[in-house]
Chains A and B, each alone.
Chain A
Amino acid sequence: GIQVEQSPPDLILQEGANSTLRCNFSDSVNNLQWFHQNPWGQLINLFYIPSGTKQNGRLSATTVATERYSLLYISSSQTTDSGVYFCAVGGNGNQFYFGTGTSLTVIP
């Protein structure tokens, strides 16, 4: 199956700092999605981004499908950004295979 690696595994930021999370995948994909799992376990959709660049407020994402990686940018981080960020990829269909996640802690 498709292997998905995320880096860094853990990240601690001061409030207001910027960060970049990376997702590498081992094969070509038709689907790629970024999620934020909050401390209560809820999965929140951030971006569906199999290719290209998208922005939503302080968050943006870029996927370079030909080079098999995606980046998630968080600017001006806030304590509410804390949690685990997952990248998930898939081929045809809507099955997704998740990376190991990046655990983000934003301290005030």
Chain B
Amino acid sequence: SAVISQKPSRDICQRGTSLTIQCQVDSQVTMMFWYRQQPGQSLTLIATANQGSEATYESGFVIDKFPISRPNLTFSTLTVSNMSPEDSSIYLCSVGVGLNTEAFFGQGTRLTVV
């Protein structure tokens, strides 16, 4: 299993600003992922955070809006840039400890943009 810590747990931000969310895992993991859950909706995969290379983004998500860093095997950040109220969501970090194994999720970051 894996224990995932996300910071901040929640934030209220002004439109036009950026927020960086941190994800720390208690063990080295091969794969880290970022998801978004808009109010009342399901979870949508934003991107795969690749260690040592650029993240791989899903359709509809771009690096300029959601830059991702993965400096090592236990840490990743997601930045939500130039925020608008439509970015108000829960952002979740997820890891896989091996290929084709269960996913573990952090507790999420609840973002409100005003």
Contact surface of A with B, Cβ cutoff 8 Å: 1, 30-31, 33, 35, 41-43, 45, 48, 50, 86, 88, 92-101
Q: Which residues from A are CB-within-8-Å of B102?
A: 31, 33, 45, 48
Which 9 pairs across A and B sit closest by C-beta, in order of nearness?
A94-B96, A48-B102, A98-B43, A43-B105, A98-B42, A94-B31, A30-B100, A100-B42, A101-B42
Give the interface SS of chain B, mostly helix, strand, loop or mixed: strand
Q: Which residues of B contact A35 (CB under 8 A)?
A: 105
A84 to chain B, nearest CB (A): 9
B103 touching A88, Cβ below 8 Å: yes
B residues in contact with A98, CB < 8 Å: 42-44
Report 10 cross-chain contacts, Cβ distance below 8 Å, ordered by A residue.
Answer: A33-B102, A41-B90, A42-B108, A43-B108, A93-B48, A94-B96, A95-B31, A95-B48, A97-B45, A98-B42
Beta-carbon contact of B104 and A45 below 8 Å? yes
- Residue B77, interface by CB 8 Å: no
The residue that B92 contacts in the complex, of A33, A43, A94, A101, with Cβ under 8 A, is A43
Tally chain B residues at the interface, Cβ within 8 Å: 24
Is there contact, CB below 8 Å, between A41 and B94? no
Majority secondary structure of chain A interface residues (helix, strand, loop or mixed)? loop
**Distance (Å) between the CB of A89 and the closest chain B CB?**
11
Contact with A along B99-114 (1 / 0, CB 8 A): 1111111011010000
Q: How far is the CA of A17 from the CA of B64 in the complex (A)?
A: 49
Please indicate which of the listed interface residues B44, B96, B104 has the most CB atoms of chain A within 10 Å of its own CB.
B96
Given contacts A94-B99, A96-B45, A100-B42, 9 further A-B contacts (CB under 8 A): A33-B103, A41-B90, A45-B102, A45-B105, A48-B102, A86-B42, A92-B99, A95-B31, A99-B42
Q: Which residues of A contact B92 (CB under 8 A)?
A: 43
Does B75 interact with chain A (Cβ within 8 Å)? no
Interchain CB contact under 8 A, A94 and B42:
no
Chain B residues with CB below 8 A from A48, complex form: 101-102
